[in-house]
Copies of this chain bind each other. A is one copy, B any other.
Amino acid sequence: MTNDRILATYIIETAHPLEKAAAAMAGEQSSGTFVPVPGETDELRARHGAQVIRITELEPVDAPSLPGSRPPKNAPTPPVYHRAEVVLSFPYENVGPSLPVLMSTVAGNLFELGQFSGLRLVDMQLPQPFADAYPGPQFGVEGTRRLTGVYDRPLIGTIIKPSVGLSPEETADLVKILIEAGLDFIKDDELNANPPYSPVARRAAAVQRVINEHAERTGKRVMYAYNISGDIDEMRRSHDAVLAVGGTCVMASLITVGLSGVAALRRHSQLPIHGHRNSWGALTRHPWLGFDFRAYQKFWRLAGADHLHVNGIRNKFCESDESVIASARECLTPMLGGYTVMPVFSSGQTAEQPPDTFRALGSVDLMYLAGGGIMAHPSGPAAGVTALIQSWEAAVQKIPLAEYAQTRSALREALEKYG
C-alpha cells in the first residue's frame, strides 16, 4: 500500500492542539467538507482520505511567525504556538499522474489555513506512477558530460553580462572571448530570453557560429544555455532554432514558465534543459512558509530539468550554506530509481569556495558558475578559468589552497584578489 501513497513532510506552527491541526491539514487536502454531506461515506474516507502518519513535536514559541492565524477560543493568553514536523500520506489515486495536481494537493490551500502561524513543505516522497508518467531529465549529469566532453571535474561556466542589452552579434563577440578563456559552459541571463533586440533564434545563430567554429578547430564544444523561457509554442520554436544551428542546451525559468510549460518543453526537447529558479525567493525566504528546496526540486526533476540552480556557498543572496549544500545533495540523490540532475552553483563564486563546497558535497558532478570570479581576474578571463580549475583540483586532492597555489600563479593571483 505504501507504494501507492504520496508522503509529504511539513513543519507547522499552530496555537491549536497538534493532532487537531494535522488532522485539519489532511481533511482540507483530501475528502474534506464544510459540513457532513450525502456522498461522504466511511468507505470513501477510508479510500481517499489523507492520513496523519507522524507528528514530531518541536520547541514551541510564544509569538506567531506569520500574521493572520486564529488561536482556538480556549487557548491560554497569550497563546502557546506549538511546532512540529508532520508527515501526511495521500492516496496516489486522488491525484493521478499530474504534477500540477500533485502540487495543489501537497501545497495548495494549506498555506492559507487559519489554524497555522507557520506551514512549510520540507520533503516529499512519490510513488512509482509518477515515474511512469514523467520521463524526467533526458540528459542529467552523464548526458551533460557527454555533450561537453568534460569529465572528472565540475563544468566551469559563466553568465553573459550585461544581463540585458547586448545584440546577438555583441553576444557572439563576448562568447568568443569566453571560449578562448577556456570556459565549458555559458548561459544567458534569466532576464534575457526572446526580446526584440536579441531574438533567441538570431542570438543562437550568431553565438553558435563562434562555438561551432571553435569546436571544429579544437574539438572542444562549449555548451551555451539559450534562455528560451516563454509561451509553449514560442519555446518549441526557439528550441528548434537552437537545435538547427548546433546548440546543445536550452534554459527555462522554471517557476515563471510553470510546471505544465516545462513538462511540455521536456517532451519536445532534444537538448538538456538548464533549469533556472528565479522567483524562488518568494517561496522560500521565510523559514515558516512555502517550501524547502529538498521538496520543491522534485517537481522540476520530474518535469524534466537536467540542471538545477542551487545558489552557492557564501553567495550574495540570503540563503545559508547549509541550505545550498542540502539542495545540491538532493539533486545528486536518485529519485524513483533515477532522475538525478546536475546542481548549478552560482552567485558570488570565486576560486575561494571550491574546497568548502567539495568537503560538504563530496562530488564534482556540478556546474560552477562565476562572473566577476572569472572576468575580474588580474591576468584576465583565461587565468580566471584556470584558477577555478586549479582550486577544484586542490579541493579534490584535499590540499590547502595556499599550498597548491605556491606553484600556480593563476590560483595565487585569484586568492590574492578574492580571498
By a CB distance below 8 angstroms, the chain B residues around A316 are 113-114
* Known contacts A104-B278, A231-B263, A256-B259; A320/B162 CB under 8 A: no
Contacting pair B111 A285 (CB below 8 A): yes
| In the complex with contacts A31-B163, A44-B162, A100-B285 CB distance below 8 A | no
Q: Kindly list chain B residues whose C-beta atoms are within 8 Å of the C-beta of A128.
A: none
Interface residue range, chain A: 35 or more
A191-235 interface with B by 8 A CB criterion: 191-197, 229-235
Chain B residues with CB under 8 A of A66: 285-286, 318
Contact at B258–A113, with CB atoms within 8 Å? no
A19 an interface residue at 8 Å Cβ cutoff?
no
> Which residues of chain B are within 8 angstroms of A231 by Cβ–Cβ distance?
98-100, 260, 263-264
Residue of chain B at shortest CB distance from A94: B164
Alpha-carbon separation in the docked complex, A69 to B192 (Å): 27
Interface status of A382 (Cβ within 8 A of chain B): no
Which residues on the B side are within 8 Å of A258 (C-beta)? Answer: 100, 255-262
| 25 A-B pairs with C-beta separation under 8 A | A30-B164, A32-B162, A32-B163, A33-B161, A38-B177, A39-B170, A48-B162, A48-B165, A68-B285, A93-B196, A94-B191, A94-B195, A96-B195, A98-B193, A99-B256, A100-B253, A100-B256, A104-B193, A108-B278, A111-B281, A112-B281, A112-B319, A257-B258, A258-B261, A282-B282
* Interface of A toward B, CB cutoff 8 Å: 29-35, 37-40, 44-45, 47-48, 66-70, 93-96, 98-101, 103-105, 107-114, 161-166, 170, 174, 177, 190-197, 229-235, 253, 255-264, 278-283, 285-287, 289-291, 311, 316-320, 348, 371-372, 375-376
